[in-house]
Structure 1
Amino acid sequence: MDTAAMDRDLETLRAGRHAWARLPIPEKLRYLDALAQRTENVAERQVRAALAAKGIAPGSPAAAEEWLGGPVVQARVVRQLRQSLHDVLHHGVPQLPPGSVRQRANGRVAVQVFPASLTDRATLPGFSAEVWMQGGVTPHTLADHMAGFYKQPEPDGAVSLVLGAGNVASIGPLDAVDALFVHGRVVLLKFNPVNAYLGPFVEEAFADLIHDGYVRTAYGGADVGAYLCGHPAVDTVHVTGSDKTHDAIVFGPGPEGAKRKRENQPINTKPITSELGNVSPVVVVPGPFTAAELRFHAENVATQMTNNAGFNCNAAKV
């Protein structure tokens, strides 16, 4: 474990954290444009490497998963984020389609965020998604709760450690994108040993941000993760993994860590966000359903368990 190299990387990130946070939106849009183009440039090579690593035959149905779970979704999110930042630049907040905001029976505000385009409707007909706002938010005050980072006149920067996922190729890079462009933080992205082969492609896609000192990468196992989580130069942590990984970071490993968890005595008090598997239910409501509709929904439930062999944090498991 080369702690000196990690220390240097964190020193670089800390030196640039305030500059990144205060960078004008047009400059950030240029970084997003470069990221989108470079994501396209590495896409085919990245997918070939993933297929080889997983033993998947090129051209097989399973090969499509590596496109959809990797460069395709990464490019899509970057494109959508670019549109949101463009809206923030010109309107102060992302612009919502007409009719997308409603109040539920209990008074809570719900915002339909999908479908948001004709492409969404064509590719996933019949699907929709809403964000339910916290109590106290009204349709008139909704904009006050959007793009909060960009409402600050001179925000302070921070260093975010992103512990990348070992399952889906786009999760780690997009967690980094979220920290950078939504929260205004510079990023140290640590790759999971399971898919560390993705590192060179991600580094190529993020080359402009790396060159200018806003992103760094790290490789290694639990010892590297533990060193970085406890490093004084790291302000926040985001982890995709198991609940055991989260608990080891916050409370420490083994029986002593379990005891500290029971007593709520964390050893790491840094703000931490986590995506730790999924115990979300599939809720089946009364019909009437046609045979075709039942088959359609059954296929979607089954696909959650077969896509990427079921190793997806966004796949309901109950």
Structure 2
Amino acid sequence: MTTAVKEIRFATEAQLDIAIKNLTNGIANWAKLDLQERIALLKKTHISIANASEDWAKAAISAKGTPKGSPEGEEWMSGPYATLSGITAVIESLEKLAKGKSPLDGIKASKAPNNRIKFKMLPSNFYEFNLFHGFRADLWLEPNISEAEARANAGLGAKRLGQNGGVGLVLGAGNISAIGPLDMLYELVAHNRATILKLNPTFASLLDVYKQAFSPLIEANLLRIVNGGAETGAYLTDHLDIKHIHITGSALTHDKIVWGSTTTKIGRPILNKPITSELGGVSPIIILPGKWSKADLRYQAENVVTQRTHNGGHNCIAGQAIILSKEWEQKDEFLAIVLEELEKASKRPIWYPGSEAKLAAAQIAYPNAKRRNDTMLIEINEQTSKELFTTEYFAPVLGHIALDGTGISFFRNAVDFANNELDGSLGASIIVSPHDLKSMGSAFENSLADLRYGTIGINVWSAIGFLIPSLSWGAFAGNTLENVGSGIGIVHNSHLVERTERSVIWGPFRPFPRSFINGEIAFSPKPAWFVTARSAKDTAQKLTQFSIKPSVTKMLKIFVDAFRA
């Protein structure tokens, strides 16, 4: 890391007390605002974020030491772009409510397995149809909820004008710069809570740019942003005037806050207030066997490697366990290409604190791992350690295991394995060709319904759900304080829908063929989040400008860059 965290000044206890007092007054005023006044404040904030977007991206790039060029696009997309999109989507829902409509007005519903309904969240307009051509995304609700009930109840805190949710603490993530701001936004709109956002020390240097971006909410006493270490976090979690906590981080940190211990979880928690969380886990990449072309093998290998090495591998939603069929004739060929792509990606720095130690631990557990600089490819079988299935490495460590079966029988085996053998339930990805998908018919979606993950990507990395504000983001429901897994509760959910269960994103198995490179077909456009997308920075910058003020002209410029990928 390039940031000297020790030079960052932390807030004192007296300053924290004043901040919480101001927020208490601010949320009381928020409770008095009507929807139009709330919309006006959020629009003002949108403009402020837009004005700070370049400084924001540059600050995140500096904090991580991101290499110059295409990798810089990751910081644009996972910072200002994601936040601008989130605020725009929330404003649209509030505007519907202000007109007496449901936030789900105009959103199509259809049936999902086992008496569920799902709402088609992507594409929802002309721009999304073109920018996300070939992609679609659905928000699934819990079983036994009718469409009429879902539409009538959508709105959450935005329907409860006058409600004062008090002051909440958001313990921000240290890897993706939009996480804390989007968590804060959901606290405000969905729960009518003001937020004191404590930055992770890795993002301590972003304090000033965050203050610039969110100045309207700070001036309205709805947000305070502070730096601090473990002592600051402990003071805030114990503060009598903090009514709720939301954390993005590790289960160990969660348990320390809730139980005062990372091992003993019996009796009553020491925490005396509600807590929600997003805690990561071991994300599977299920690959259904099929007959793929050389170009398909290469493209999907890039897809898999992106899921592991994006952001240097420091993502809670990073793919870590590839699940393959023993009977797939192309398995070895595919893994060889994955190794080639890992070698290309190995030039990225390992920047997140503690990741080098985790790499070393993985090397000890798997001495036969294939290592390319700071990336590792590990075969898991009956003779090896199973540590990879229960340890979130948060580093570029990628494992693979082979199970019995083909077609739907393999998929069912893979679903059972992912549910029962892997730690966590935040996100899962599936790769399947159109031919094989068609051959499974309705059995595929029926088995998909059994896959207990909060976000599922089919031919697309599940992390893309983070960039689609209308989807829910969080672990699959059912975790407890004693067994927290990937966390409790959701965020984002810009249509403010009650009783969401999961988000499902579909992408194209292959994009358009463009040209031949070294005797192989090259596909274009590669998604801007691919680590192999050469124009990722330019595309992400233009996407950010588009999210500030959409236009056909801006959209066409995005296409020009994307087709250079």
Relative to the length of structure 1, the TM-score reads 0.90
What is the CA distance between 1:288 and its match in structure 2? 5.7
Name the CA distance, whole Å, in 2 between partners of 1:184 and 1:38: 21
Q: Percent identity over the alignment?
A: 35
Contact 1:281 1:316 (8 Å CA) reproduced: yes
| 1:284 maps to 2:287 | yes
Q: Does 1:155 align with 2:160?
A: no
Using the TM superposition, name which of 120-129 and 171-180 deviates more.
120-129
How far off its partner does 1:48 sit?
A: 2.2
1:172-251 matches, within 5 Å, as: 172-251=180-259
Q: Give the SS at the match of 2:184.
A: helix
Farther off after superposition, 192-201 or 135-144: 135-144
The 1:88–1:313 alpha-carbon spacing in structure 2 relative to 1, beyond 3 Å, is farther
Shift of 1:148: 2.2
In 2, are the aligned partners of 1:278 and 1:316 still within 8 Å (CA)? no
- In the other structure, the counterpart of 2:506 is none
Task: In structure 1, list runs of 5 or more residues that go unmatched.
Answer: none
Shift of 1:17: 2.1
Local SS of the residue matching 1:177: helix
Q: Which has the larger helix fraction?
A: 1
- Aligned residue runs from structure 1 range 252-291, under 5 A: 252-253=260-261, 257-259=262-264, 261=265, 263-287=266-290, 289-291=292-294
1:220-240 superposed Cα distances (whole Å, 9 cap, x missing partner): 111101110111100111111
Q: Give the direction of change, closer, same or farther, for the CA distance of 1:148–1:49 in structure 2 (3 Å limit).
A: closer
Structure 2: 5+ residue stretches without partners: 1-10, 322-565
Letter in 2 for 1:304: Q
Match of 1:61 in 2: 70
Q: Secondary structure at the match of 2:196?
A: strand
1:223 and 1:44 map into 2 onto residues whose CA distance is: 32
1:299 CA displacement: 2.2
CA distance 1:101–1:178, shift in 2 (3 Å): same
Aligned to 2:49: 39
Q: CA separation in 1, counterparts of 2:269 and 2:224? A: 27
Residue 49 of structure 1 is matched in structure 2 by 59
Q: Which amino acid aligns with 1:3?
A: E
Alignment partner, residue 99 of structure 2: 90
Pick which of 224-233 and 291-300 moved more. 291-300
Root mean square deviation of aligned Cα: 2.0
The reply on whether 1:114 has 2:111 as its aligned counterpart is no
Q: More displaced, 287-296 or 20-29?
A: 287-296
1:218–1:153 distance in 2 versus 1, CA, 3 Å: closer
Q: Which residue of 1 aligns with 2:560?
A: none
- Aligned counterparts of 2:307 and 2:278: Cα–Cα separation in 1: 17
Q: CA deviation at 1:35?
A: 1.3
Whether the 8 Å CA contact 1:237–1:272 is kept in 2: the answer is yes
Give the CA deviation at 1:96.
4.4
Q: Are 2:86 and 1:77 aligned?
A: yes
* CA deviation after TM superposition for structure 1 residue 137, in Å: 0.7
Question: Where does residue 35 of structure 2 map in the other structure?
Answer: 25
State the shift of 1:291 in Å. Answer: 4.5
Q: Structure 1 residue 154: deviation in Å? A: 3.1
Deviations 1:257-294 (A, max 9, x none): 522x1x15311031111111233322333546555444
- State the 1:296 CA deviation: 3.4
1:2 aligns with 2:5: no
Distance 1:128 1:264 in 2: 45
Asked if the contact 2:48/2:216 (under 8 Å) is kept, the reply is: no
- Cα–Cα, structure 1 residues 283 and 125, in superposed 2: closer, same or farther, change >3 Å? farther
* Deviations 1:15-59 (CA, angstroms, capped at 9, x unpaired): 23232134211111111111111111111122222223333344x
SS at match of 1:162: strand
Find the aligned partners of 2:320 and 2:100 in 1 and give their Cα distance. Answer: 40
- The amino acid of 2:302's aligned partner reads E
Equivalences, count? 311
Partner amino acid for 1:308? N
2:146 alignment partner in structure 1:
138
Counterpart AA for 1:71: P
Q: Match for 1:137: what amino acid? A: I
What code does the residue aligned with 1:47 have? A
Secondary structure of the corresponding residue to residue 144 of structure 2: coil
Greater displacement, 84-93 / 170-179? 84-93
Whole-angstrom distance in 2 between the partners of 1:112 and 1:288 = 30
Instruction: For residue 313 of structure 1, report the CA deviation from its aligned partner.
Output: 2.6
* TM-fit CA distance, 1:111: 1.6
Structure 1 Cα separation of the partners of residues 303 and 100 of structure 2: 38
Separation (CA, whole Å) in 2 of partners of 1:78 and 1:291 = 41
What is the deviation of 1:113? 1.7
Q: TM-score, normalised by structure 2?
A: 0.52
1:89-121 Cα offsets, whole Å, 9 max, x none, are: 1134213445x3112231111122223233333
1:128 match = 136
Counterpart of 2:99 in structure 1: which amino acid?
H
Distance 1:291 1:265, change over 3 A: farther
User: Is 167-176 or 112-121 further displaced after alignment?
Assistant: 112-121
Structure 1 CA distance for aligned equivalents of residues 212 and 284 of structure 2: 38
Cα offset for 1:306? 1.5
- What are the Cα deviations for residues 121-146 of structure 1, in whole angstroms up to 9, with x where unaligned? 33333333222212221112111331
Deviations 1:63-82 (A, max 9, x none): 11111111111111111111
Instruction: Report if aligned partners of 1:21, 1:185 keep a CA contact under 8 Å in 2.
Output: no
